[in-house]
Amino acid sequence: MDEKDKPDKQPKRKERKNDEKTANREESQTAKNLCTNQKLNVNPRNPLNSVSQPQLNQKQANSTATYSEPVAEAMDDSGVPDSPLNSLQELPTQNPVKMERVPSTSDLPVFSSQFVTQISSQSDPGPDKAHLLATASAAFGHGGNAPYNWQATKICVKDRLSYLCNTEIMADVHFMVGAPPHQQKIPAHKFVLSVGSAVFDAQFNGPMATQEDIVEIPDVEPAAFISLLRFLYSDEVKICSDSVMTTLYAAKKYAVPALEKQCVEFLKRNLSSDNAFMLLTQARLFDEPQLAALCLETIDKNTHEALQADGFTDIDLETLCCVLERDTLGIREFKLFASVCRWAEAECTRKNLPPSPENQRGVLGRALRLIRFPLMSVEEFAQGAAQSGLLEDKEVVKLFLYFTVNPKPQIAFLDVPRCCLTGKEQVVSRFCQIESRWGYSGTSDRIRFMVNRRIFVVGFGLYGSIHGPKEYYVTIQIIQSDTGKVMGHNDTSFQCDGSNSTFRVMFKEPVEILPNTSYTACSTLKGPDSYYGAKGLRKVTHESVSSGKVTFQFTYAAGNNNGTSVEDGQIPEIIFYT
């Protein structure tokens, strides 16, 4: 072949780019060809859908004609793609194939990150470059609606993960959360969930890993699930009184103990008598013993207010029984019985039963046996429980006999007093020695006492028979010495075993004892001769680690006292709380 017939050698790339102006002009022309000459069908909401019809034809004809060359060789000095875009201008336009499809990222030209960064750094890239930048950004994107290079604006891992939370950006799993018709589709990322939860880890990576693209979670509310995701992505806790219980359920279901703890702490801070019963039910349901104990303590201290709250009638039977079993409720028994009757009516309504006495007794079940009818006065019992219809006739008769006769009949209801005080019970003893044979003729044993701080007396310790096991009938009282007002009273009985130990006799309710005020402790016993105390102390200081010191001063009670004095006699112990 003659030299004149030989094709001219292509000029080198640097020789074609004589100056910067020529390069910019060609770059602009490239963008115009891409946007106008090739008739791109641009979807402004998603640049990934922008593609020219000739590109489709050429890709079908020869997929390597445009993209087979290495990217490095298709770059000029400025980092702008040369040959791929120039080749687009030379693509044939005849016989266009009329077809529609959703193009993928592979349909886009090859761009370098250097090129994208270079254009994005320009203050005014112009309309042609702006469109090319949008197209190039799509080539580097990973789905969702995130702007290009969003990572650069997040300074730490927490910020970057928080940005991904509840977004489609790189999401590889979706959850359909909630029960119809309030379901919500929520995107997430398996890696993040697996790192934060052993349950998610097993669900996505275990031997029985799910293969579903959409995981249904009908038993968790959407707001609670989003709170769970927010915590897994960023350690951020956003809960309120309306969502805390559902969030606690989600945290327990997916084994996220740190979020569980945050929910429980929130409940503790917001615990009150108004919501104590409702939270107690939930704490028992979710197996949160610490929270349940706090709820019960709140109920003990504010029993009347808690029973009047709306949430009380909504509790389940087991929770009701749990409360009625307590010895520390601060309420009179006849008022407690009235609240239990209110709960029974609500339970009948829930079960679509008429609120008759028979049905109320049926829904109460064993809870009725936990009402301590013997702690009522005979008047309170006659006006309330005896006429309620909840008790059988034979139960009513036995209880009336219990109130009025001695010896008292055996009954099916507890007579242990309820003490609304918490803490450790304490006992002060005033004798140093025990002697035998102290007789009784119907006269009360009495001793006066005074304390230096406020306490609550719940009972006395009394001596028993010197003739073996016997039963005593006793009336105990605390009287304010100056006014003669009876502060506490109980008619009861106790069994002794014949030893010289003391035996507890309790008041129905704690008796408040004010500091520097004189009170008289009284006990009237009916029974055989008993032991008695000797070498009594006038001043006794009782000290405990939790409550500190309480000083008792004992003095002689003038009048009929059956011989009891500071030096010897009955009433050796006073049982109290601080």
Report strand pairing: 539-544 vs 502-513.
unpaired
Of 348, 394, 401, 341, nearest in space to 371 by CA: 341
Of 530, 509, 543, 544, nearest in space to 572 by CA: 530
Residue 572 has pLDDT above 70, yes or no: yes
- For residues 146 and 173, the answer to whether their CB atoms sit within 8 Å is no
Domains of the chain, earliest start first: 13-140 (no CATH), 157-269 (3.30.710.10), 276-404 (1.25.40), 426-577 (2.60.120.820)
Greatest mean pLDDT among 3-12, 32-41, 242-251: 242-251
- Tokens found for residue 471: 């039963």
Least confident of 41-45, 142-146, 197-201, 257-261: 41-45
Residue 43 has pLDDT above 60, yes or no: no
Residue 475 has pLDDT above 70, yes or no: yes
Q: Is the peptide bond before 181 cis (omega within 30 degrees of 0)?
A: yes
Quickly tell me which residue has 């940005």 as its tokens: 163
Residue 30 banded pLDDT, cuts 50, 70, 90: low
Q: What is the mean pLDDT of the chain?
A: 80
Q: What percent of the chain has pLDDT over 70?
A: 74
Cα–Cα–Cα angle for 259, 264, 268, rounded to 5 degrees: 150
- Is the model more confident about 24 or about 340? 340
Kindly state the average pLDDT of the residues 265-278: 90
Give 244-248's long-range contacts (Cβ < 8 A, gap of 24+). 245/282, 246/220, 246/221, 248/282, 248/286
Q: What integer pLDDT is reported at residue 422 of this predicted model?
A: 55
Kindly state the average pLDDT of the residues 19-29: 56
Report the b/e string of 225-254 with b at 16+ CB within 10 A.
bbbbbbbbbbeebebeeebbbbbbbbbbbb
Residue 350 banded pLDDT, cuts 50, 70, 90: very high
Residue 256 has pLDDT above 60, yes or no: yes
Kindly state the average pLDDT of the residues 459-488: 94
Least confident of 117-131, 137-151, 157-171: 117-131
Q: What integer pLDDT is reported at residue 73 of this predicted model?
A: 42
Q: What integer pLDDT is reported at residue 286 of this predicted model?
A: 85
Greatest mean pLDDT among 51-55, 86-90, 224-228: 224-228
Q: In 439-570, where do the E strands start and end?
A: 445-451, 455-463, 469-480, 486-497, 502-513, 519-526, 530-536, 539-544, 548-555
Kindly state the average pLDDT of the residues 497-511: 90
The structure's pTM equals: 0.52
Q: What percent of the chain has pLDDT over 90?
A: 49
